[in-house]
Chains A and B, each alone.
Chain A
Amino acid sequence: MNDAPTLPPDDLACTEEVELITDYLEGALPEAKVRRLELHLETCPGCTEYLEQMRTVAGSLSDLREESIPDETREALLDAFRNLRRSS
């Protein structure tokens, strides 16, 4: 007998898996889908790495430089606030 390696009949394709990653990370997948996705991850190093990288992306952006309004605008706003509150 020469059995070909087979995947579980309801195995997720990696093409589907990658599109579900954000819903999974956001806790927005129905329970049954979560089980199928996690089952697939157990046997798929590609999707496991993909999930890890999406997590890394989501978690590493908080230190990106923030651009704000120019200092002159900020000062003008504080002046306006002072004047408005003095007159009211």
Chain B
Amino acid sequence: MPPASSDADLVAALCDGDESAFAELVDRHSPALLRVARTYVSSRAVAEEVVQETWIAVMRGIDGFEGRSSLKTWIFRILANVAMRRGERESRSVPFSALAAAEDTGEPTVDPDRFLPADHELFPGHWVVMPARWPTPEEGLLAGETREVILGAIEALPKAQRTVIALRDVEGWGSDEVCEALEITPGNQRVLLHRARSAVRNAIEAYFGATEEIDYDAVTAELMGDTAKESSE
């Protein structure tokens, strides 16, 4: 991607009627706008309409942009308003912050059966079935079949988590930008990101079958043996 023009330059160009500047903006932000719109409305088709309506509002309102937030944040705020209105008509509009709160279940992100119980005498809450190294191809996780595994895992996420991981890890936004655009707290944002990344990690691990079971009887015997040997020396 070419380096992004600064907000001030872009806004000036838009106000001047520079069509290539508008095209650049549309191409840069439409994928993320579409992702966020999908959290508010029921279908891909309606989400596309919401994005289109957002861009119309942007071109109409650009003269009034005062630079109090970044241009990106301003555009995403407009999207949220358009999408909320649209969602109300579909009577399924839920503010993002409410979605975020509902998805913060506090449930463990890794299957509790993979750990020793919390009251284990020697190793409370430690791994029994621990993660093993992934046979990751040199070209990275997205090169092979794992790409489909990852796409499937993201698609299966609850909406708020899907949106946050898409903006942070796919689009590469900073956490401040995500919090500002979605109007959630940094704590909320981290919970959603954590749950989303954990789910994707779990899916990759399941695909590779990359786990290793620890034989604690053997470990304990070995450690005790070592300790006994050391103390007898």
Contacts and interface: CB of A to CB of B under 8 A. Distances in A.
Interface of A: 1-7, 13-16, 18-19, 21-23, 26, 28, 44-47, 49-50, 53-54, 56-70, 73-74, 76-78, 80-82, 84-86, 88
Interface in B103-145: 108-110, 112, 115, 118, 122-127, 130-134, 136, 140-142
Contacts of B151: 64-65
B interface residue count range (under 10 / 10 to 19 / 20 to 34 / 35 or more): 35 or more
Contacts of A59: 169
Contact of A53 (B19, B34, B165, B204): B204
Contact of A62 (B23, B48, B172, B193): B172
A53 B194 contact: no
B228 interface: yes
Contact of A56 (B34, B123, B136, B223): B136
A64 B126 contact: no
Interface of B: 17, 19, 22-23, 26-27, 30-31, 34, 48, 51-52, 55-56, 59-60, 108-110, 112, 115, 118, 122-127, 130-134, 136, 140-142, 147, 150-151, 154, 165, 168-172, 175, 186, 190, 193-194, 197-198, 200-201, 204-205, 214, 220, 223-224, 227-228, 231
A69 B52 CA distance: 8
Contact of A85 (B17, B193, B197, B227): B17
A57 B228 CA distance: 42
23 contacts: A6-B122, A7-B122, A13-B115, A13-B125, A19-B109, A46-B130, A46-B214, A49-B130, A53-B205, A57-B197, A58-B169, A62-B170, A62-B171, A66-B31, A68-B30, A68-B34, A69-B34, A73-B52, A78-B19, A78-B23, A81-B59, A85-B59, A86-B17
B62 to A, nearest CB: 10
Given A57-B200, A60-B142, A15 B55 contact: no
A5 B231 CA distance: 13
